[in-house]
Amino acid sequence: MAKSLLFIPDISGFTQFVKTTEVEHSQHVIAELLEVIIDANTLNLELAEIEGDALFFYKENIQLTQQSLLEQIKTMYTAFYSHLKLLEKNRVCTCNACATAPKLQLKIIIHAGNLQFIEVKGNRKPFGNVVIEAHRLLKNSVPNDNYVLISCELENEIGKLQNIESDLLSFQAGRDSYDSKEIKYQYALIEISKLQIKTFEEPKFVTFNSLPNISFEKVFNVSAEVLIEQITNYKNRHNWVEGVDEFIYNEHEVTRLGTEHVCVINGKQLMFKTITKKGKPNQIIYGELTKIPFLIDELYQFFIITPKSNNSCLLDLEVYWKVKSPIKKMIIALFVKKQILKSNTKAMNNLYCYLSENK
């Protein structure tokens, strides 16, 4: 029987991450990272299971070269740390989950052996001692949480790893005993600085040469962190924004600079993009940009939160717009400006009441 490949990427630091951070955002971050790893699967591995903070892949009948396996490892680490860099650079939320996400690490366990299967309600799942061994290898003596480990069972199939030349991977021998059975392996620590982190669009700070067209401020009796969470959590917006049919957004994604959501008003869809602008060091600034084709070329709305104490903060709402048509400028000045101020004032008062009732 030809041996099968078992491949387990595991996000290191997940347990502590969840214990010490906001659960919902930590779940979103982990889900995003697991999706990134799945998308980086260049060997067409079969996904057997999503195991919380880890993925269990397998491939029957090993037919791969040492080079193709090493390229898979490099691709997966590059994708993982590129996404962490994106989360770090484009972060809006101040919660511990979003702030500490860039400290997460990745380890990959790769094993080989004779694989058996069981079928449960039509689902075919890997089974047997080799599966147990692969998972036990997650607990090992490697003095790091950022590494790839390849068992000697697999090394026997693809060739000696210590003979390879790689700018990223330098393997060394290790061994551990599980239930009196010793399993030997080769492992290589991953140096993030040697990865070619993918570039992404840097967030642009919007600047204005004039005062806002509309401004409004209100003191909230909650922390700045609680307020920014409510403002950026589209799931809860219906609790304080009236007149909206629906909010369409990615439920499994933490809001960050560059993300988009759709606001449906009277059946018409308005696309909003998350932006920001410069502020004072202690301020939290969240902004949204949209275009209203029939009236306003560009509408900018900024929520500027300044902490006052542990349980209170000042919210400054600033609205700017850009309009080229002189006729539209006149219509906005005569009729629309008052309506925008009225709707935003009402939304902020609704938000204040909602937060007061749900402390």
CATH number assigned to the domain comprising residue 86 = 3.30.70.1230
Domain with 326 in it: 214-357
CATH of the domain at 351: 3.30.530.20
**What string of pLDDT tens digits covers the 359 residues of the chain?**
578 999 999 998 877 777 666 788 888 899 999 999 999 999 999 999 999 899 999 999 888 888 999 999 999 999 999 999 999 989 888 888 888 889 999 999 999 999 988 888 888 889 899 999 999 999 999 999 999 999 999 999 888 887 676 788 889 999 999 888 899 999 999 999 999 998 777 777 899 999 999 999 999 999 999 999 999 989 889 999 988 999 999 888 888 898 999 999 888 899 999 999 999 999 999 999 999 878 899 999 999 999 999 999 999 999 999 999 999 999 999 999 999 999 999 999 999 999 999 87
Structural domain total, the chain: 2
pTM of structure: 0.86
Does an H or E element contain 260, and which?
A: strand 260-265
Residue 199 lies in a domain: no
Give the CA count within 13 Å in the CB-facing half-sphere of 167: 5
| Tokens linked to 101 | 């996400």
User: Are both 291 and 189 inside the same structural domain?
Assistant: no
Does an H or E element contain 311, and which?
A: none
In the block, which residue shows the tokens 């008003």?
Answer: 265
Residue 295 lies in a domain: yes
User: Are both 52 and 124 inside the same structural domain?
Assistant: yes
Q: What are phi and psi of 340, to 5 degrees?
A: -65, -45
